[in-house]
Amino acid sequence: MLLTLSGVLSADQLAEARRLAKGLAWRDGADTAGPVARSVKRNQQADLTTRSGAKLRDLLTAAVQSHPVLIAAAQPKRFSPILVSKTGPGGGYGMHIDNPWMGSGEARLRTDLSFTLFLSDPADYDGGALEIENAGFTQSLKPGAGDLVLYPTTRLHQVADVTRGERLVCVGWIESLVPDEAAREILFDLENLRATLAPAHAPQSLEMLTLTKTIANLLRRFSSR
Cα 155 to chain centroid distance, Å, stands at 13
138-143 CB contacts, 8 Å cutoff, 24+ apart = 139/2, 141/4, 142/118, 143/4, 143/6, 143/118
CA distances (Å), origin 225, targets 32, 63, 73, 97, 102: 28, 25, 18, 26, 18
Q: Give pLDDT tens digits for 151-183.
A: 999 999 999 999 999 999 999 999 999 999 999
Q: Give pLDDT tens digits for 85-144.
A: 999 999 999 999 999 999 999 899 999 999 999 999 999 999 999 999 999 999 999 999
220: left (phi over 0), alpha (psi -120 to 50) or beta: alpha
**Which has more confidence, 15 or 36?**
15
d(CA 95, CA 156): 6
Check whether 40 has a pLDDT greater than 90. Answer: yes
Instruction: Please list the residues that pair with 11 across neighbouring strands.
Output: none
pTM of the predicted protein model: 0.94
Domain spanning 3-176 has what CATH number?
Answer: 2.60.120.620
